[in-house]
Amino acid sequence: MKINGAQKHSVYFIVCMIVFWIILAVTHTASGMAGYAFSFAMGLLPFLGGLFALLYENKSSERKGFIDKGIFFAGLGLFLWGCGEVIWSYYNFVQGVAAPYPSFADLGFAPSVFFYCIGAVYLARAAGADVGLERKYAKLFILIASIAMFAVSYYVLVVVVRQGVLVHSGDPVLKSIFDLAYPVGDFVSLTAAVVLSGLSFRYIAKEYHLAIVSVLAGLAMMFIADSVFSYTTSIGTYFNGDFGDLIFTLALFLLSFGVFGFLPKKDIV
């Protein structure tokens, strides 16, 4: 299957990041400045890719519809996440704070989840998901899928990550809020996209199959990454460039790759 130029460059990026992470893991150097460098680098794709998506939308104002809106909102989510990572890296390199959480970096991270949700819904609808909403058993599917997703999320967030306790007594209030808000936001985004796409994947144009799957996989990976981050920061084992950061990097790549897949065919190389 052909991919366009933006997707091609995102593949180059993720390959370099995986190699970078393997080197850190093998040499056990992720806990120092090298880990800070990895953390900064993993924010480059969402920052630059999201900015590209936003600028692309502005340059293509004559194009209307769900694709435009999906690219814009998903791109805005990516850009904000990248901004959050820039602020995070400022704390790392300038302030010498290894894990600034919660901090001003969350002003970029937190709203990104909301815009991922809007973007994912628009992109799913652009690919043909609306057709599936008219199917006979659509409402039943929505109900079952939502319950199933909730059950899985509850098990991961409460039973596994929080060890049966929603709020740990020793955690700051703001951290407790973010620990729940991030994965829950990811859950809402993923559920909305899964419901729309699951209802009508057979009706989605083949040219968008890879893009939709990539966005869904990215949302799922982001849910896992936020859950891992919440767990490791709660037990005090988080460090820049750890396995959780690798999952974040993969999630951001998948989201970016999927969003880029909705660019016009003229960009295919």
Cα distances (angstroms) measured from residue 154 to each of 110, 163, 183, 208, 222: 20, 11, 10, 31, 16
Question: What pairs with residue 268 in β-bridges?
Answer: 4
Structure tokens belonging to residue 18: 């995986």
List pLDDT tens digits, range 71-97: 889 899 999 999 999 999 999 999 999
Helix (H) or strand (E) holding 187: helix 173-200
Compute CA distances 29 → 19, 64, 132, 233, 238, whole Å: 14, 48, 49, 19, 14
Q: Distance between CA atoms of 104 and 184, rounded to whole angstroms? A: 20
Q: Which residues pair with 4 in a beta bridge?
A: 268
DSSP state of 136: T
* Alpha helices by DSSP H, 5-137: 5-27, 33-42, 44-59, 66-90, 106-126, 129-132
CA nearest 201: which of 119, 129, 254, 259? 129
Domain definitions of the chain by residue range? 5-267
The Cβ of residue 138 has, within 10 Å, a number of other Cβ atoms equal to 14
Which of 5, 111, 104 shows the shortest CA–CA distance to 49? 5
Q: What is the pLDDT of residue 212?
A: 80
CB 210 within 8 A of CB 11: no
pLDDT of residue 139: 65
Give the chain's radius of gyration (CA, Å).
Answer: 19
Q: Decide: helix, strand or coil at residue 25.
A: helix
Q: In whole angstroms, what is the distance from residue 217 CA to residue 221 CA?
A: 6
Q: What is the predicted pLDDT for the residue at 62? A: 46
Question: Can you give the pLDDT at residue 159?
Answer: 67
Q: Which two tokens stand for residue 118?
A: 């809007």
Residue 176's identity, in one-letter code, is S
Residue 245 and residue 269: Cα distance in Å, rounded? 30
Return the pLDDT at 224. Answer: 84
The reported pLDDT for the residue numbered 55 is 82
Tokens representing 98 are 């290894």
pLDDT tens-place values along the chain, 269 residues long: 678 888 999 999 999 999 999 999 999 887 789 999 999 999 999 999 898 888 875 454 444 577 788 888 989 999 999 999 999 999 999 999 988 988 899 989 988 988 988 887 787 777 665 555 556 666 676 677 667 767 776 676 666 666 666 566 666 777 777 777 777 777 777 777 667 666 666 666 677 778 888 888 888 888 888 888 877 877 788 899 999 999 999 999 999 998 888 877 554 44
pLDDT reported for residue 268: 47
